Amino acid sequence: MRRMTLRLLSSTAFIAGFAAPAFAQETFPSPSPDADVVIIDQVQLGDVFANMDVVVSGTATGASAAATATGNITTANSLDNDLDFDAAQQQNGEVRAASSISGDNVFGSPARTITTAYGNSASSSTTNGTDFSTVTQTSNSDVDASSAITLLEVGDVEMTTTASANVNQYQTENGTNRGYQVQTGNANVTATNEAQIGFVANSGAIGATATGNSVASYGSTTTSYNGAQQIMADGTRVAAVSNAEISDGTNVAVSATSAGNNMKVENEFGYATLGRDVSNLYQENSADIDADSSLTLTEWAGVSGSTSYGVGNSALISNVGSDTGMYAIQQNNGDVATLATFEGGSNGGVGYASSTSIGNAATASLCHSCGSNPILSGKTAQLNNANITSSAYASTGHDGYISGSATAIGNSATYQSFSTD
C-alpha cells in the first residue's frame, strides 16, 4: 500500500512561524579522508561583455551567432571518489551578452542565435561517490542577454536567449548528493528576443528565459539531499521579452519565461528530498517578474502562437521508485505580470496566445509503481504579498482557428503520487 503524508500551512501559521524559519544549513556527515577537495573563491569587479554579429549577403546554407558572458564560473568533477566542494562567488560588474544575424536569406540549416548571460555559475558532479557541496553566490550588478534576427527569408529560425543572476547544478550517478546553496540577487536580470523576418518556410522557435536564482539537481541511482536559501532583493526586476514580426510563416512558436527563484530536483531510484523537515528550502522573491511574448504573422500556416510564463518562486522535485520529500517555505513580495499576444492575418492555420502568472509554485511528483511502495511526504508554507496578473490577446483574419488563455494564481502546491500501470 502506498502512503502519502502532506502538510500545507495556512498563511496565519506561516506568519506566526516566519520569525524563525528553519532554513539554516543542515549538518552533513564529513567526506571521506581521501576525498577530492576543491575550494573556490571568486570576485568579479569589472564589467563582462560578449557580442557576436553575423551578416548574410545573398543566400547562406546556415547561419549561427553565439555569445556567452559569465561573471564567475567554476566546475568540479570527481570519479570513483567523494568530492568536497566549497565555492563562493561574487559578481559586482555588469554582465551582458548580445548576438545578431542580419541580411538576406538562410536555407538549409537554421538561422540560429544562442545568447547566454550568467552573473555566477557553478556546477559539480560525481560518479560512484558522494558530492558534498556548499555554494554561496551573490549577484550585485545587472545581467542582460539579448538576441536579434533581421532577415528576408529563412527555412527555419531558432533563438535561445537565457539570463540568470546565479546558477548552480549538481549531477550525481550511482552515489549520494549532499548539496546546499545560498543565492542572493541584488540587481536586474533581462532576456530579450527581437525578430523581423519576411518569410519562414518550415518552423520557428523563439524563446527568452530570465531567472534570478536557479538550482538544478540531477541524480540516477542516487540518494539526493538538496537544500537552499534563495533571495531576490526588493527593487529589482526579472524580465523576459520575445517579440517576432513575420510577414509569412509556418509553425512559429514564441515564448517568454521569467522566475525570481527556481529550484528543481530530478532523481531516479534513490531517496530524494528538496529541503528537509529540519532544514527547509527557503525562497523569498521581492523582484518584480515580467514575461511578455508577442507574435505577429501577416499570413501563416500550421500551428503558431505566443506563450508567457512568470513565477515568483518555484520548487519542483520528481523521483522514480523511491521515497521522496519536499519541505519548502516560499514568500513572494514582487508583482508578477505576464502578457501573451498573437496577431494573425489571412489564410491562417491554428493560432494561440497563452499567459500564466503564479506567485508561489511547489510541486512534488513520485512514480510509486516504479518501486516497492515508496512514500511521498512533505510540508509547504506559502505567502504571497503581491499582485498577480495575467493577460492574453489573440486575433485573426479569415480562414484561421484561434484560441487564448490567461491564468493567474497566488499560491499553488501540488503533491502527486502516480502509477504507470
Q: Grid coordinates in use for 193? A: 528576443
pLDDT score of 372 = 84
Determine the Cα angle at 199 with ends 193 and 202, to 5°.
90
Kindly report, residue by residue over 336-366, the tens digit of the pLDDT: 999 999 999 877 789 999 999 999 999 999 9
Instruction: Output the pTM of the full model.
Output: 0.93
3-state secondary structure of 12: helix
Kindly report, residue by residue over 238-294, the tens digit of the pLDDT: 999 999 999 999 999 999 999 999 999 999 999 999 998 778 999 999 999 999 999
Contact 14, 64 (CB under 8 A): no
For 128-139, the DSSP string reads: SSEEEEEEEEEE
Domain map (residue ranges) of the chain: 3-418
Determine the Cα angle at 128 with ends 124 and 132, to 5°.
40
pLDDT score of 349 = 85
pLDDT score of 201 = 97
The Cα–Cα gap between 95 and 46 comes to: 9
Enumerate residues 6+ apart whose C-beta is below 8 A from 85: 38, 40, 76, 124, 131, 132, 133, 134, 135
Name the nearest CA neighbour of 118 among 178, 60, 181, 189. Answer: 189
pLDDT score of 420 = 84
Which residue is listed with cell 550568467? 118
**Amino acid, res. 314:** S
pLDDT score of 10 = 37
User: Is residue 191 over pLDDT 50?
Assistant: yes
Q: 379 or 369, which is more confident?
A: 379
The Cα–Cα gap between 260 and 289 comes to: 7
Model confidence at 27, in pLDDT bands (50, 70, 90)? low
On the CB side of 66, CA atoms within 13 Å amount to: 2
User: Is residue 135 over pLDDT 90?
Assistant: yes
User: Is residue 369 over pLDDT 60?
Assistant: yes
The Cα–Cα gap between 418 and 366 comes to: 6
Averaged pLDDT of the chain: 92
**φ, ψ dihedrals at 12, nearest 5°:** -65, -45
pLDDT score of 28 = 66
User: Is residue 188 over pLDDT 90?
Assistant: yes
Name the nearest CA neighbour of 74 among 121, 117, 41. Answer: 121
The Cα–Cα gap between 116 and 147 comes to: 10
The Cα–Cα gap between 192 and 391 comes to: 19
The mean pLDDT value for 370-393 works out to 95
Contact 262, 238 (CB under 8 A): no
pLDDT score of 421 = 75
The residue count for the chain: 421
Contact 277, 329 (CB under 8 A): no
Kindly report, residue by residue over 33-90, the tens digit of the pLDDT: 899 999 999 999 999 999 999 999 999 999 999 999 999 999 999 999 999 999 999 9
Kindly report, residue by residue over 200-247, the tens digit of the pLDDT: 999 999 999 999 999 999 999 999 999 999 999 999 999 999 999 999
pLDDT score of 15 = 39
Determine the Cα angle at 351 with ends 307 and 296, to 5°.
75
Name the nearest CA neighbour of 104 among 152, 64, 55. Answer: 152
Contact 173, 219 (CB under 8 A): yes
In percent, the amount of the chain with pLDDT more than 90 equals 85
In percent, the amount of the chain with pLDDT more than 70 equals 93
